[in-house]
Amino acid sequence: MTNRVRPFITTGMLTVALLVAGCGKGGGEGDETPSTEPTTQVTEPALTAPPTQTPEEEAEAAIKETFRGVITDLDYYYSNASDYTVDEVEANPPATKWHVTYQAEGELSNWTMAWRRSSKIEQVGESVIATHDVADVTLRESGVHEAQSTACLDISGLSYQTFEGQPADLQYEPDKFQTWKMTWIYHPEADSGAGIDEPGWYVQVLDLTRNQPC
């Protein structure tokens, strides 16, 4: 009778076998797949040069800025009329220092003199430039340029007081709106004989329409 030898596997041997089998999966040492992490790439915005204005657009911007200065000067005078004597205003109207010339200077000088002579009142508040459209800009090689523009002032929010600070009792209905149609001229250099204290755009001709809403 032949005795058969039964296979005998201990628990420890089984454990080692399983470990070896497990290590064999996925290849040899160094074959691990590297982890991938999302990367954030910072993209700098493209630098673009600001749009270049045409000479006509530069002229339009300068005219609008000059007109704001004229209205600021006019508001200041009306609001501080008590700082001027009648003789001072008649001898040297403030408008002679503003960016107005020829007919427009004469028109505004008449306004300032009439304001000071006729009543002792001052304006309270500031004029609002509701619209201002510049057209027909003509640029010449000589540097003496011309343009046309139309502006509408909303002055409905203004009030008036006496030199003593009391509400003024006006004998007339003040304007609510004013439309200024203007011819502009650019002087490339100062000309004291023509009343041009510095180079720039000047209102040459002014045509005023009253109380046409903007």
Instruction: List CB contacts of 183: < 8 A, sequence separation 6 or more.
Output: 146, 147, 148, 203, 204, 205
Q: What are 160-199's pLDDT values in tens digits?
A: 999 999 999 988 899 999 999 999 999 999 888 777 889 9
Location of structure tokens 């439309």:
179
Residue 95 to residue 139: CA distance in whole angstroms: 26
Percentage of the chain beyond pLDDT 90 is 68
Instruction: List CB contacts of 77: < 8 A, sequence separation 6 or more.
Output: 84, 94, 112, 115
Q: In the chain, what are the domains?
A: 55-210 (3.10.450)
Q: What does pTM read for this prediction?
A: 0.76
pLDDT category at 39 given cuts 50, 70, 90 is low
Q: Which segments of 80-181 does DSSP mark as H helices, in order? A: 86-91, 102-118
Q: Which segments of the chain does DSSP mark as H helices, in order? A: 11-24, 55-79, 86-91, 102-118
Q: What are 196-209's pLDDT values in tens digits?
A: 889 999 999 999 99
Q: How confident is the model at residue 193, as a pLDDT?
A: 79
Using the 8-state DSSP alphabet, how is residue 29 labeled? Answer: T
Q: What are 49-61's pLDDT values in tens digits?
A: 667 889 999 999 9
Instruction: List CB contacts of 29: < 8 A, sequence separation 6 or more.
Output: none
Contact in structure between 137 and 76 (CB atoms under 8 Å): no
